Amino acid sequence: LGTMGNRLQRINVENTEENRRAFREILFSSDASISQSIGGVILFHETLYQKDSSGKPFPALIKEKGIVVRIKLDKGTAPLAGTNGETTIQGLDGLAERCAQYKKDGADFGKWRAVLKITGTTPSQLAIQENANTLARYASICQQHGLVPIVEPEILPDGDHDLQRCQYITEKVLAAVYKALNDHHVYLEGTLLKPNMVTAGHSCPKKYTPQDVAEATVTTLLRTVPAAVPGICFLSGGQSEEEASVNLNAMNQLPVSKPWKLTFSYGRALQASALAAWVGKTENKKAAQEAFRKRAQINSLACKGQYVMSGKTDTAATQSLFTASYTY
Amino acid sequence: MTHQYPALTAEQKKELSDIALRIVAPGKGILAADESVGDMAKRLNQIGVENTEENRRLYRQILFSADSRVKKCIGGVIFFHETMYQKADDGTPFVQMIKDKGIVVGIKVDKGVVPLAGTDGETTTQGLDGLSERCAQYKKDGADFAKWRCVLKISENTPSALAIMENANVLARYASICQQNGIVPIVEPEILPDGDHDLKRCQYVTEKVLAAVYKALSDHHVYLEGTLLKPNMVTPGHSCPTKYSPEEIAMATVTALRRTVPPAVPGVTFLSGGQSEEEASINLNAINTCPLMRPWALTFSYGRALQASALSAWRGQQDNATAATEEFVKRAEV
């Protein structure tokens, strides 16, 4: 809810349930060709139970386009005492029952976001191990109820660390995550990974090319993610829409063999242009859908390494979507 | 967690990665000729030959004087310490003979298994003391890769968590030290085929063991692109009443590896673990034709399975030497 608030605030639209519903309706009522670019949609609890103006529930609207429905399952962060501001994630209580209910109500995937940050002293051993463990517990429970768990160990881009440090940390974190998934007997072929790309911190003075980001990211994944995992959908983590697409494209163009699909799981990076086109006005619905469809298609091309930057992107696409210490 | 302290320079990494790729180049595997004196005793005994240093030298000579046809099938040969410093009849050091064929020389560096107190007959492997100095010396003397064998067994209550963790840790220490000395470590966590367990149990245990091994390698900052894995194939225990086809074995093996071995590892060289020569080759073939996607090279590191025919052909008779070498070449080409 708070997040939608941020987004709507940027376009000066009041953060009411109706406005939130209206915006999502715009996205979900895009015509069926969107299913060529979008494989799944992640919903928040409120959204799963909302309907469009004709009374059709959102999940039905989405599924008839052949897109799968995902539901966010965690209940936000909780502090880890004795650490330097580090957190774990709550949401395990009654998770089994919630999963069973969501599955009945149309969800097929679950999402759970763990958060780690890089500083001189973090992430600590405890933070890594604790977050890996809760991710594994969540994944195990999801699978028991027919939901595919999306495993998301996000390492925030906040900070001035360089690319190498991010790579080092990401490798350590992912190794811990897959050890935990193994310990908890999670069926890897029925999971997806949603990691950060390996990038320098936002306030790092050194600049890196999409090629640098692509190589660092893919190397990290080759060293830690077993081939049995069918797909990796990157989070955009505050990158602009254009940056996120270009980086994904560079990864898919790398001449190295990758056993998993590399694709996207973008929130901000897919919706910014659509939000800017909508600005809360019903008459802008078509324009917003068009912006959304274009962005989705660009990313779809990026998944195949076929995206060619046109050079004439609109302002919304290049605007940085970074919000410090992003919380859901 | 603190900052990264690079374990290897870019040049060191490149050297290790190049060596690993050469060993598992397409169509190539490893000849494990590293039987200890005790192991050789058993082998030579089977063909009625006395276990003397000279006989051991003669036997290895047969293998190493195979003609250049083996170049296409053998990427690396693993030596035992004694063999590393032996020569052929004409005075050419064995190491030289192997390198002249463009084959990479490897050396077994572990010092055998020792018991883990308080377990059900489980073991760890020793050999870490002075390993760095030994590796440096072997590298000077021509070795570019090394082998270290850990052993686990399947029974009602084994392998225990301790056995898995301890062996994974010791493998990671060995691997780290090797890489510091320009030597590619072959990581061998062998799960013995003894027992009556079925294919599924072997797969389950193999997945747990390999997950532990790769976590340990990550913890010890080992450069995966400069390592090789030498695991058991996933098979039922020797006394398991159920029979499985090569396709089932292949599926179980590849699935286990896909779930645990990061794609960055360049190659997996299977041990034959007591399978017959023919069995081992058929299973390897099935593995390579398995419909699942395999990001690493999958090849062999056979000792007994490559040498059995050669051994029987030789029987310690000098005149049988060429016939024996011929058997060896034939087996390698398969």
CA distance A17 to chain B (A): 42
Q: What value does the mean pLDDT of chain A take? A: 81
CB B145 within 8 A of CB B184: yes
Query: Rounded mean pLDDT of B72-98?
Result: 92
Q: Would the pLDDT of A23 be above 80?
A: no
Highest mean pLDDT among B30-34, B127-131, B228-232: B228-232
Residue B166 C-alpha from the chain's centroid: 20
Distance in angstroms (rounded) separating the CA atoms of residues B331 and B334: 5
- Given CB atoms, is B255 within the 8 Å cutoff of chain A? yes
Q: Quick check: A259 and B293 CB within 8 A? A: yes
> According to the model, what pLDDT value does residue A33 have?
60
pTM of the model: 0.83
Q: How confident is the model at residue A48 (pLDDT cuts 50, 70, 90)?
A: confident
Q: What value does the mean pLDDT of chain B take? A: 90
Pick the range with the lowest mean pLDDT from A7-11, A184-188, B28-32, B249-253: A7-11
- Given CB atoms, is A185 within the 8 Å cutoff of chain B? no
The single-letter DSSP state of residue A197 is P
Query: Rounded mean pLDDT of A151-156?
Result: 96
- Given CB atoms, is A219 within the 8 Å cutoff of chain B? yes
Q: Would the pLDDT of A324 be above 50?
A: no
ipTM confidence: 0.81
Q: Would the pLDDT of A182 be above 60?
A: yes
- Given CB atoms, is B10 within the 8 Å cutoff of chain A? no
Residue to test with chain B: of A133, A182, A224, most B Cβ within 10 A? A182
> According to the model, what pLDDT value does residue A239 have?
82
Q: Would the pLDDT of A52 be above 80?
A: no
Q: How confident is the model at residue B58 (pLDDT cuts 50, 70, 90)?
A: confident
> According to the model, what pLDDT value does residue A280 have?
62
- Sign of the alpha-carbon dihedral angle for A204, A206, A210, A216: negative
Query: Parallel, antiparallel, or unpaired: how do β-strands A77-79 and A68-72 relate?
Result: unpaired
- Enclosing H/E stretch for A95: helix A95-104
Q: A218 vs A110, A232, B220, CA distance in Å?
A: 25, 11, 21
Query: Rounded mean pLDDT of A190-210?
Result: 95
| H-assigned helices in chain B | 10-23, 37-46, 53-64, 81-84, 94-100, 131-140, 161-180, 199-219, 246-260, 277-288, 304-314, 321-333
CA distance B165 to chain A (A): 12
Closest CA to A270 of A94, A36, A37, A1: A37
Please list the residues that pair with B301 across neighbouring strands: B30
What are the catalytic residues of B?
Answer: 188, 230
Q: Would the pLDDT of A241 be above 80?
A: no
CB A122 within 8 A of CB A77: no
The pLDDT tens digits of the residues spanning B298-311 come to: 998 887 666 776 67
Contacts of A176 in chain B (CB under 8 A): 215
Helices A268-278, A285-303: axis angle to 10 degrees equals 160
- Enclosing H/E stretch for B32: strand B29-33
Residue to test with chain A: of B218, B292, B298, most A Cβ within 10 A? B218
Distance in angstroms (rounded) separating the CA atoms of residues A94 and B251: 37
Assess whether A86 carries a catalytic annotation.
Answer: no
Q: How confident is the model at residue A95 (pLDDT cuts 50, 70, 90)?
A: very high
Query: Tokens 């050194």 appear where?
Result: A206
Q: How confident is the model at residue A312 (pLDDT cuts 50, 70, 90)?
A: very low
Q: Would the pLDDT of A42 be above 70?
A: no
Highest mean pLDDT among A58-67, A227-236, B35-44, B208-217: B208-217
> Which domains, and CATH codes, for chain A?
73-266 (3.20.20.70)
Q: Quick check: A223 and B219 CB within 8 A? A: no
Of the residues A86, A130, A152, A215, only one is catalytic, namely: A152
CB A181 within 8 A of CB A188: yes
Query: Which residue of chain A is at minimal alpha-carbon distance from B227?
Result: A223
Q: Quick check: B208 and A128 CB within 8 A? A: no
Q: Would the pLDDT of B290 be above 70?
A: yes
Please list the residues that pair with B125 across neighbouring strands: B113
Q: Would the pLDDT of A322 be above 70?
A: no
> According to the model, what pLDDT value does residue B1 have?
43
Fill in the amino acid letter for A296.
Answer: A
Q: Quick check: B295 and A122 CB within 8 A? A: no
Q: A201 vs A67, A113, A323, CA distance in Å?
A: 34, 19, 13
> According to the model, what pLDDT value does residue A313 have?
44
Q: Quick check: B295 and A259 CB within 8 A? A: yes
Contacts of B294 in chain A (CB under 8 A): 227
> According to the model, what pLDDT value does residue B317 have?
58
* Contacts (Cβ under 8 Å, ≥6 apart) of A6: A323
Query: Rounded mean pLDDT of A196-221?
Result: 96
Q: Quick check: A227 and B293 CB within 8 A? A: yes
**In chain A, at which residue ranges do the beta strands (DSSP E only) sit?**
40-43, 68-72, 77-79, 87-89, 109-116, 148-155, 192-193, 231-234, 261-264
Query: Rounded mean pLDDT of B130-138?
Result: 95
Counting residues of chain B whose pLDDT is more than 70, the rounded percentage is: 91
Pick the range with the lowest mean pLDDT from A62-71, B165-174, B248-257: A62-71
Q: Would the pLDDT of A311 be above 60?
A: no
CB A243 within 8 A of CB A288: no
- Given CB atoms, is A191 within the 8 Å cutoff of chain B? no
Tokens of A89: 């994630």
CA distance A227 to chain B (A): 5
Task: Calculate Rg over the CA atoms of chain B.
Answer: 19
Q: How confident is the model at residue A34 (pLDDT cuts 50, 70, 90)?
A: low
Q: Would the pLDDT of A274 be above 70?
A: no
Residues 52-81 of A with CB under 8 A from B: none
- Given CB atoms, is A122 within the 8 Å cutoff of chain B? yes
Query: Parallel, antiparallel, or unpaired: how do β-strands A77-79 and A87-89 relate?
Result: antiparallel
Distance in angstroms (rounded) separating the CA atoms of residues B7 and B5: 6
> According to the model, what pLDDT value does residue A325 have?
45
Of B263 and A30, more confident: B263
Contacts of B261 in chain A (CB under 8 A): 226-227
Q: Would the pLDDT of B324 be above 70?
A: no
Pick the CATH number of B10-198+216-333 from 3.40.190.10, 3.20.20.70, 3.40.50.300, 3.30.428.10: 3.20.20.70
Beta carbon pairs, A and B, within 8 Å: 71
The structural domains of chain B, with segments of one domain joined by +, span 10-198+216-333
Q: How confident is the model at residue A87 (pLDDT cuts 50, 70, 90)?
A: very high
Phi then psi dihedrals of residue A208, to 5 deg: -125, 150
Q: How confident is the model at residue B48 (pLDDT cuts 50, 70, 90)?
A: confident
Q: Length of chain A in residues, anyone?
A: 328
Q: Quick check: A226 and B215 CB within 8 A? A: no
Of the residues A194, A215, A242, A243, only one is catalytic, namely: A194
- Omega into B159 within 30° of 0, i.e. cis? yes
Please list the residues that pair with A38 across neighbouring strands: none
Query: Which residue of chain A is at minimal alpha-carbon distance from B226?
Result: A223
| A1-10 CB contacts, 8 Å cutoff, 24+ apart | A1/A44, A1/A46, A2/A327, A2/A328, A3/A327, A3/A328, A6/A323, A7/A268, A7/A271, A7/A275, A8/A275, A8/A280, A10/A275, A10/A276
